[in-house]
Amino acid sequence: MYGSSINGFGYAPSIDDYKHVKAINAPLWVWEGLLPCGTHLNGALHWVFKLRGGGECVIAAFDLETDTFREMPVPVISVSGFSTGSLKGCLCLMDLVFGLRRRDIWFMKEYGVGKSWAKILVVDPCYEVKPLCLWKKSEILMTIDRNENENELVLCNPKDGTCKNFDVVGIPFWFYADTYVESLVSPKFSAIV
């Protein structure tokens, strides 16, 4: 994070409050490239950083209730790092090795337990992958960037790693898809009362 800041937005159910997080210049971690927004899960925001001086990756989880960071282990050693996501209420990591290659997706079965990481899918060669949701309880709907200028929606079978196109009429060649948590509570609700 040297010379840059991280941002994230999330809800802490234990204190019934929404928070916008912005941290600047953490002395322990380094981020190279464009810094993504944190993944909100289990009352915390999650990013993956490299430890300063060592190059090893860790997950930095910011607890929205206590306003503190804690470190969590990644599943394997990675030279380039990971991006974070969530799937079925569990933390996911996608490797960030640059170029056209196969992508591993890791799934933390038990939150905060490093030994619970499992590789659930190896995606066909692509530049970037992002899981969005489970489709019919067995396949994973994902966006895949196969040629740096076009995104595709695909359904992936986590049992055998096969993917098939998920056709949507009228979708443009380049698009952005992400997940969200539906809520009827306004983030500014406490300011109104």
Q: Domain holding 107: CATH number?
A: 2.120.10.80
Question: Does the residue 66 lie in any domain?
Answer: yes
Question: Does the residue 32 lie in any domain?
Answer: yes
Strand, helix or coil at 115?
Answer: helix
Question: Does the residue 81 lie in any domain?
Answer: yes
Tokens 């599943």: give the residue.
Answer: 75
Question: Does the residue 92 lie in any domain?
Answer: yes
Counting the structural domains of the chain, the total is 1
Low-confidence ranges of the chain (pLDDT < 50): 1-3, 33-34, 189-193
Tell me the residue range of the domain where 19 lies: 6-128
Question: Does the residue 98 lie in any domain?
Answer: yes
pLDDT at 182: 65
pLDDT at 116: 94
Contact by Cβ (8 Å): 92, 125 = no
Question: Does the residue 161 lie in any domain?
Answer: no
pLDDT at 110: 94
Question: Does the residue 111 lie in any domain?
Answer: yes
pLDDT at 24: 62
Amino acid at 2: Y
Question: Running DSSP on this structure, what letter comes out for residue 27?
Answer: S
pLDDT at 157: 85
Question: Does the residue 185 lie in any domain?
Answer: no
Query: Could you report the per-residue pLDDT of 30-45, keeping only the tens digit for each?
Result: 555 445 677 888 888 8
Report pTM: 0.76
